[in-house]
């Protein structure tokens, strides 16, 4: 092994240039301070590439052994925090390659044979993103497991369902939570689907046109666990649609959690008082001693903005780029990393936070008494007794108006009062019998919605069971 570091030009391409770049340009064009996060993936990719080069006789067996030894040392240095990252070497790829050459000499210089940073960086991002997706999928699983537990405990807990934030019809709290389960199920599907397109190998595309060496791309794909190779070299080094897709899936996941957060915040307001959150997810005020603020859900709602922003950043980054690689693409990493970090932290915190929801069942039930939540049940009752739906709707609207005047809820009417209230709609009053009160109760209303996807407690339990067996 020869140490040829000193004879190396200052930059990987510097023989072509007559003057160095300014410090400002150096800093402006460098990515090492953020792309060093991909160091492990970069080393993994390089090792697979080197192994392939040796198998194909493009480099020698000793070169491969030297590269492997050097990379083991470099990995250790990185893990121990001893690696000297250097702005002069622009990015993670050149930093590692330079250190490798310092450690093992010419073998280090041979590593880049048949490769370009363009296919190298695309490979690193895909390896990095694949790990992030796997982590996100596992975390969605944890979130779902806890959500199902809370939903099950509340499969029959009545609360008002809202439309327009006005009391609409009774639902169970478990049913309400299961709505978020369904959203998370689609989120997981989207990440799993995105993973298929992430998991294709760009390496071998070199700068843009491929390479004249007798490379074996399938071997490298297999070594790195890719499902297949990218089939067009120009496309492979330039498109970042897989990253955009990931950000889109993330934006949707965050949007769902942002909606959930909005509800938690609202439910925790003393004016609603449906739930309380465990103290460990709330903070106080520096001035108002009585305050307990739902900071965590508020921040989830807030952080959704930056994830949405990253999606737009990447879409905008891509839209004007001619084929093939352009330096614009270096800007893909920070939004991508930030998105993954935000989603991972948010899922972790959320899975824990929902286990700390304390449900205030009395407040939920009280709220149901305030908005004529069973009005639709009364209309359906009339329809089942032969009144056309539009007439039933009108009859119940009159009953609600009368209840408003009297200041009571529908079940508090006597049979006579109910009939009188509907008198203006021909055929309505005589269709109301004593059994009407059974449908006006919250439990009656809930139990009647017993089809698949309905809020009847038995259906909520069935939905939870279905979810559990799908996850098993
Ligand atoms: N740091 C670069 C990036 O993140 C690596 C690829 C550089 N390629 C080039 N032709 N300058 O995209």
Q: Is 285 a catalytic residue?
A: yes
Instruction: Calculate how far, in angstroms, residue 108's C-alpha sits from the geometric centre of ligand 1.
Output: 19
- Contact (Cβ atoms closer than 8 angstroms) between residue 421 and residue 402: yes
Among 93, 118, 119, 334, which residue has the most ligand 1 atoms within 8 Å of its CB, making it the best to mutate?
118
List all residues 6 or more positions away from 134 whose beta carbon is below 8 Å from its beta carbon. Answer: 195
Q: Is 118 in the pocket of ligand 1 (CB under 6 A)?
A: yes
Q: Are 340 and 132 in contact (CB under 8 A)?
A: yes
pTM (predicted TM-score):
0.93
Residue nearest to atom 2 of ligand 1 (CA): 330
Token output for 230: 């990218």
Centre a 10 Å sphere on the Cβ of residue 24 and count the other Cβ atoms it contains: 8
The whole-angstrom separation of Cα 435 and Cα 433 is 5
- Residue 249 CA to ligand 1 centre (angstroms): 26
What is the C-alpha separation between 245 and 191, in angstroms, rounded?
A: 9
The atom number, within ligand 1, closest to the CA of 92 reads 1
- Domains in the chain, CATH or no CATH each: 27-113 (1.10.275.10), 118-152+170-366 (1.20.200.10), 367-471 (1.10.40.30)
**Ligand 1 atom nearest residue 329's Cα:** 12
DSSP state letter for 432 = -
Going through 183-249 in order, the beta strands assigned E by DSSP cover 200-201, 228-229
Q: Whose CA is nearest to atom 4 of ligand 1?
A: 330
- Per-position pLDDT tens, the chain of length 472: 333 333 444 566 667 888 888 999 999 999 999 999 999 999 999 999 999 999 999 999 999 999 999 999 999 999 999 999 999 999 999 999 999 999 999 999 999 999 999 999 999 999 999 999 999 999 999 999 999 999 999 999 999 999 999 999 999 999 999 999 999 999 999 999 999 999 999 999 999 999 999 999 999 999 999 999 999 999 999 999 999 999 999 999 999 999 999 999 999 999 999 999 988 888 877 877 787 899 999 999 999 999 999 999 999 999 999 999 999 999 999 999 999 999 999 999 999 999 999 999 999 999 998 889 999 999 999 999 999 999 999 999 999 999 999 999 999 999 999 999 999 999 999 999 999 998 899 999 999 999 999 999 999 999 999 999 998 7
């Amino acid at each position: 092994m020869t140490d040829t570091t000193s004879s190396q030009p200052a930059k990987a391409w510097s023989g072509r240039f007559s003057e160095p770049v300014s410090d400002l340009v150096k800093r402006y064009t460098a990515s090492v301070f953020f792309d060093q996060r991909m160091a492990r993936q970069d080393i993994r990719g390089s090792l697979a590439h080197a192994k392939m080069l040796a198998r194909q006789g493009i480099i020698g067996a000793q070169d491969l052994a030297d590269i492997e030894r050097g990379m083991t040392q470099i990995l250790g240095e990185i893990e121990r925090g001893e690696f000297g990252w250097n702005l002069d070497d622009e990015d993670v790829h050149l930093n590692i390659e330079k250190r490798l050459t310092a450690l093992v000499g010419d073998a280090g210089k041979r590593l880049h044979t048949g490769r370009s940073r363009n296919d190298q960086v695309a490979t690193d991002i895909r390896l990095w993103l694949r790990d992030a997706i796997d982590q996100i999928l596992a975390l969605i699983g944890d979130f779902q497991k806890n959500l199902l537990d809370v939903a099950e405990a509340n499969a029959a807990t009545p609360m008002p369902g809202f439309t327009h934030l006005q009391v609409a019809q009774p639902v169970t709290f478990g049913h309400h939570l299961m709505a978020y389960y369904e959203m998370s199920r689609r989120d997981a599907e989207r990440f799993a689907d995105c993973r298929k397109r992430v998991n294709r190998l760009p390496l071998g595309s070199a700068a843009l046109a491929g390479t004249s060496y007798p490379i074996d791309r399938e071997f490298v794909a297999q070594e790195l666990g890719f499902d297949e190779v990218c089939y067009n070299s120009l496309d492979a080094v330039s498109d970042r649609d897989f990253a955009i897709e990931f950000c889109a899936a993330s934006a949707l996941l965050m949007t769902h959690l942002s909606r959930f957060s909005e509800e938690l915040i609202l439910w925790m307001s003393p004016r609603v008082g449906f739930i309380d959150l465990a103290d460990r997810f709330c903070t106080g005020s520096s001035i108002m001693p009585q305050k307990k603020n739902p900071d965590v859900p508020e921040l989830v709602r807030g952080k959704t903005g930056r994830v949405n922003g990253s999606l737009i950043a990447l879409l905008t980054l891509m839209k004007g780029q001619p084929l093939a690689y352009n330096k614009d693409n270096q800007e893909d990493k920070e939004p991508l990393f930030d998105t993954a970090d935000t989603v991972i932290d948010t899922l972790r915190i959320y899975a824990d936070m929902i286990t700390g929801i304390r449900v205030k069942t009395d407040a939920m039930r009280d709220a149901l008494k305030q908005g004529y939540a069973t009005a639709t049940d009364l209309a359906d009752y009339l329809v089942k007794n032969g009144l056309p739906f539009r007439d039933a709707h009108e009859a119940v609207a009159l009953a609600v108006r009368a209840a408003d005047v009297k200041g009571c809820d529908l079940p508090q009417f006597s049979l006579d009062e109910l009939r009188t209230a509907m008198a203006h709609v021909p055929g309505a009053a005589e269709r109301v019998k004593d059994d009407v009160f059974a449908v006006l109760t919250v439990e009656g209303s809930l139990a009647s919605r017993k089809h698949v996807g309905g809020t009847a407690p038995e259906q909520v339990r069935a939905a939870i069971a279905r979810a559990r067996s799908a996850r098993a």
